[in-house]
Chain A
Amino acid sequence: MDFQVVVLAGGTSKKLVPLVSKEVPKALLPVANRPVLSYVLEQLELSNIKDLIVVVEGADAALCVGGWISAAYVDRLHVEVATVPEDVGTAGALRAIAHHLTAKDVLVVSGDLVSDVPPGAVTAAHRRHDAVVTAMICSVPVSGLSEAGSSGAKDKTKKPGRYNIIGMDPTKQFLLHIATGAELEKDTRIRKSILRAVGQMDIRADLMDAHMYAFNRSVLQEVLDQKDKFQSLKQDVLPYLVRSQLKSEILINGAPQGQQAKENGNDKVSYRILANASTPSFHELYALGPNGSAPVRRTHKCCVYIASNSKYCVRLNSIQAFMDINRDVIGEANHLSGYNFSAQNNIIHPSAELGSKTTVGPHCMLGEGSQMGDKCSVKRSVIGRHCRIGSNVKVVNSVVMNHVTIGDGCSIQGSVICSNAQLQERVALKDCQVLSLSTSVFLSLSSNEYL
């Protein structure tokens, strides 16, 4: 279908700093004991996309990610990994691989997207309107917000104003305005010309950008070439394209717009028949001259695909989101995980050993080769592979990664414990992140600290 797919896997994100490290880049963070990148790749594979380019920031991270992909997908996908320097941003990453892009359109997906929205829907919307860019937006996860409200401490981890303001036309097909959270603090400026051309604009604050874009390749390359200060797709490129949609400066090679009206009279007639037959979008109306003659103004279309509420669509871009996704993937969105759930609605690997009177509640996951002592209780948590957990341990709402040793009588609530960590006896953790690197924890901690 003349589409190339680029997965931006990122590097070691600063926002996730206690969790990610040189060994575990963001793309390999385990979600229900699977790297988060695998959710994207599998969703793409499901859509019959076999050729991918995965862009990773930093050579070390690229090595890890590449190694993992080659092990996991050797016979299934044709993946090429590109390494870009760190801190070039998403736009910079695309700039670096721009010379590899040859297809008519490019689908750019963030590697941290956990979603079951078919990517074909975005690309189809893109093709239908001959758009320059099509962005997928989804509703802000309600569950995450309500959860944050219940345990008050989490409000702080949630950065304020992480929301988008998204303006659309009444048919909800075109993107008219987009502003990210940082801009929200100030006043929001909306182009008068756009507002006048459309006549009516729906402004939504309950939607967010899911970071899955379909770009027209030539336009994308041109924008990246001309505006070499652009760092981020989300904050620079997309708003720029949306802003300038009615006074387009880009040369569209394929000329999907009104430039088609060639000298030949017959072509013009057929073009007019086609144009009259369809309901013109405001772009075409605006582009028309004052007397309805040939288009005089250059416009381009920015489309939007809204994921329906029944679909799951969250980005793993904060620690809070990491906790939420882990909980959801084994909970309400468990079709994403790809595991078969037992009758008790949990997954316990056959090789896991449970002590006597140990209970593993629903929406839990126990990885391969993990051992649990007596009288433990696990609720709504993910426990990784080869963990050793002593007796009388309570794990609630937490994520325990691989090879973790937890002493007797610990109580862990709402925390993330990274690989290879060791907890001594009777440690109580609440809303903490425990770094790996064989830290031994003796103290009881609460609130948002990390070691």
Chain B
Amino acid sequence: MDSRRSSRALIDPKVRQVGFFTNAPLPPDRTQSDPPDPIHSTPLADASSPGNFLSPVMIPPPRHPSSSLLPRLPHSPSDAFPPPSPTTTTTTTSLGDFSDDVTAASSPPSAAAAAARVRGRGSSVKQQGAASSFPGGGFEVPPSVKAPSSVPASGLTTVSVVKLPPGISENAGGSVSVEVQSDRALNSKPLKEKTSKAERRAIQEAQRAAKAAAKAEGIKTPAATALANAKPTKSTRPSPQRNDSPVVVAASEKKGGDRSVEKDRKKDVPHPRMQYDDKSRVQKLKKRSVVKPTEARNRVELFRHLPQYEHGTQLPVLQSKFFQLDTLHPAVYKVGLQYLSGDICGGNARCIAMLQAFQEAIRDYSTPPAKTLSRDLTAKISSYVSFLIDCRPLSVSMGNAIRFLKSQIAKIPISLSESEAKATLHSDIERFINEKIILADRVIVKHAVTKIRDGDVLLTYGSSSAVEMILQHAHELGKQFRVVIVDSRPKHEGKLLLRRLVRKGLSCTYTHINAISYIIHEVTRVFLGASSVLSNGTVCSRVGTACVAMVAYGFHIPVLVCCEAYKFHERVQLDSICSNELGVLLAGDPDSISKVPGREDINHLDGWDKSENLQLLNLIYDATPSDYVSLIITDYGMIPPTSVPVIVREYGRGQLWI
């Protein structure tokens, strides 16, 4: 492998000559004034030596495995995450105090409450305990509620409980025991052979409590008692018993339903480039989708294969579903909402937001009984991902990040304890963000700054985070240059970039894309960001980028694309029609086109979307052919677009993702 690489370095690169390369060498002091970066000084070392500029194809040796950087240390479980409380516990959960003041008031069912609590395995504790403390479902004000203090603390009294089937709900005393058992039967399945002493005791206590409750109520339920008697046998062979008790059936159905839903979601994660004109697949997708958007009335025929939805239908649906999406982690939900509403956009930001949400979700994750972490967590992540796809199609960067995360989950050795595994994943995600995005950006900045000379006029389009960092860093180095920001409707992302750059003291010019041919005469360099770079060198980026690149090419101005290597993809794409994204929120939003910001009086297009013959189309990306790109600056060096396959092959997939 080493020999191969060195030989390639010897060969004179068979790429187009990038003209400005032979320009005057950079003064070494400028480059040395970079902030010290001990880790990545290696690629820079040759850059700063004056006689030896960066060759167009400069593929540094693969960075040393990041173990030196962020060692994949097995966190001690206590510092990262608190160890999960043992599943069979006799301590009350934090919710136990809901029923505490009640049990003080009503003595006979307190044993039942305690028993239910002992048995408790997680979330149902509160309901069970509270339910059993009020056997009749009746209502009683605990005498201790009216505290005389200035801020009286009031107790809570459970007056109704959930999920009792109507047949048994009249005598809740019986149903408590039934529920206790049903949970018990389900929970004890994995360890049915051995019941620990504490558990047997819990069973006994629950039984006793149920009897006491039933007696206190004065109602004998034959079904309940029969079930209570049948319990010991049940824990050993649960299946036949479960079928004849309605409660258990309901419970198991519920559980099974959950599982199948999860499985469905896992299975049907839509293909990232699904063809939406395939009717059967779209039907399948619709069944599964959380956000059921209404399709646009006037769809553009040429783009039938892309999802075209009516404007503004998704957000309200997603909002009103807030409480239905119980399986979803709140952080993931929030990120999805932010994608959908356009609060977060931009490849890097979306990827970081997603990964951070996954970090939180993993932190709060606990493996359900009878499942292994790696399998269950993968399914969970898949369901999150399909939710995020519902909100907005994934970008290439996110796809790569998800693939990385899943491979990390799969790699976790089964011997690792849950908290250790979670800590490892946490640090893995952290490492991905740091290395693939933040450090990569830093390296890109280092490379790109060498291309900026005093007196340059740099043109950028839209708002790219990498380009912004380059401009700011070059400014900090004291280079004298001017920036032209080209922007376009409807999102006007360049405005924010303009505001930030001006605040830093850069001299900027702001113009719209229709003035590009006018302004291009002054420009000496074009810096562009990218959403993804495909293996034929095609650069996918914000719509309008291709236009800018082509104009620059026509005027013989070098076009430099800044893109982190984790956005590379081995796919080949020739145009921007076959795979693209339609602006979901803004696409069909006629207001974003018809309204002129700051001019309320211009309303010639009001109500134009009602027209039958009008088809609205708002593409988000376009594809810039590699001919128009002079250079791609990545964290592996500066490469011509024809060398993208090399990066994808050498660093992609297995090697690249650590």
Binds B, one of A242-250, A268-276, A348-356, A424-432: A268-276
The interface residues of chain A lying within 8 Å CB-to-CB of B337 are 124, 127-128
Closest to A117 in B: B320
Q: Could you tell me if A83 and B141 are in contact, using CB atoms closer than 8 angstroms?
A: yes
Contact between A277 and B160 (Cβ–Cβ < 8 Å)? no
Q: Does A85 sit at the interface, judged by CB under 8 A?
A: yes
**B321 sits at the interface (CB 8 A):** yes
Q: Are B324 and A66 in contact (CB under 8 A)?
A: no
Contacts of B238 in A (CB 8 A): none
Assuming the contacts A124-B337, A274-B352, asked whether A75 and B322 have C-beta atoms less than 8 A apart, the reply is no
- A149 CB to nearest B CB, Å: 31
* The one of B151, B158, B463 that contacts A78, using a Cβ cutoff of 8 Å: B158
Against B, the Cβ 8 Å flags (1 = close, 0 = not) of A36-80 are 000000000001111101110001001100110110111111111
* A100: B residues at CB distance < 8 A: 98, 156
User: Smallest CB-CB separation from B442: which chain A residue?
Assistant: A269
Closest A residue to B140 using CB positions: A66
Instruction: Answer whether residue B221 sits at the interface, using C-beta atoms and an 8 A cutoff.
Output: no
Interface residue stretch chosen among B55-63, B186-194, B406-414, B496-504: B496-504
Q: Tell me, in angstroms, the Cα distance from A269 to B438 when the chains sit together.
A: 7
Given A63-B141, A119-B323, the answer on whether A80 and B349 have CB atoms closer than 8 Å is no
Instruction: Return the contact of A121 from the options B127, B146, B316 (Cβ within 8 A).
Output: B316
A313 CB to nearest chain B CB (Å) = 14
Which one, A15-23, A91-99, A153-161, A378-386, is touching chain B? Answer: A91-99
Q: Determine how close the nearest CB of chain A comes to the CB of B532; give it in whole angstroms.
A: 16
Q: Is the CB of B161 within 8 A of A78?
A: yes
Q: How large is the interface on A (under 10, 10 to 19, 20 to 34, 35 or more residues)?
A: 35 or more
Q: Which residue, B139, B321, B437, has most C-beta atoms of chain A within 10 A?
A: B139
B154 touches A273 (CB 8 A): no
With known contacts A76-B160, A273-B349, A102–B139 Cβ distance under 8 A: no
Known interface pairs A48-B326, A83-B145, A124-B322. Does A278 touch B333 (Cβ–Cβ under 8 Å)? Answer: no
A81 within 8 A of B: yes
Set B127, B150, B155, B318: member contacting A82, Cβ < 8 A: B155
A120 near B319: Cβ-Cβ < 8 Å? yes
Closest to B315 in A: A124
Measured between C-beta atoms, what is the minimum distance from B572 to chain A in Å?
Answer: 28
The answer to whether B138 has its CB under 8 Å from any CB of chain A is yes
On chain B, the number of residues with a Cβ less than 8 Å from chain A's Cβ atoms is 72
Q: A285: nearest residue on chain B (CB-CB)? A: B499
Taking the complex as formed, is B330 at the interface, i.e. its CB lies under 8 A from any CB of chain A?
yes
Q: Is B105 an interface residue (CB 8 A)?
A: no
CB <8 Å contact, B321 and A120: yes
Which residues of the partner chain B approach A55 to less than 8 Å between Cβ atoms? 154
**A74-B164, A279-B496 known; A118-B320 Cβ under 8 A:** yes
Beta-carbon nearest neighbor of A105 in chain B: B330
A125, CB-defined interface residue at 8 Å: yes
Q: Are A59 and B141 in contact (CB under 8 A)?
A: yes
Residue numbers in A under 8 Å from B165 (CB-CB): 75
B504 near A292 with CB under 8 A, answer yes
| CB pair B159 A123 closer than 8 Å | no
Give chain A residues whose Cβ lies under 8 Å from the Cβ of B346. Answer: 273, 276-277
Beta-carbon contact of A76 and B162 below 8 Å = yes
B616 within 8 A of A: no
| Contact of B348 with A78 in the complex, beta carbons under 8 Å | no
Query: Which residues of B are found within 8 Å of A255, using beta-carbon distances?
Result: none
Q: Closest 8 interchain pairs by CB?
A: A120-B322, A277-B349, A118-B320, A124-B319, A66-B139, A80-B156, A277-B346, A70-B159
25 sample A-B contacts, Cβ–Cβ < 8 Å, listed by A number? A47-B322, A47-B323, A47-B324, A51-B162, A54-B159, A59-B145, A62-B141, A70-B137, A74-B160, A75-B161, A78-B160, A79-B159, A82-B156, A83-B154, A96-B151, A121-B316, A121-B320, A124-B319, A127-B330, A128-B341, A274-B344, A276-B465, A277-B348, A277-B349, A278-B345
Q: Beyond A74-B169, A80-B158, A276-B346: 14 further Cβ-contacts under 8 Å?
A: A3-B323, A54-B159, A70-B134, A70-B159, A70-B160, A75-B160, A76-B162, A77-B160, A79-B160, A80-B156, A88-B152, A266-B439, A277-B348, A278-B349
Q: Interface on B for A, CB 8 Å cutoff?
A: 94-95, 98, 126-127, 130, 134, 137-139, 141, 145-146, 150-166, 169, 172, 316, 318-326, 328, 330, 333-334, 337-338, 341, 343-346, 348-350, 352-353, 433-434, 437-439, 441, 463, 465, 468, 496-497, 500, 503-504
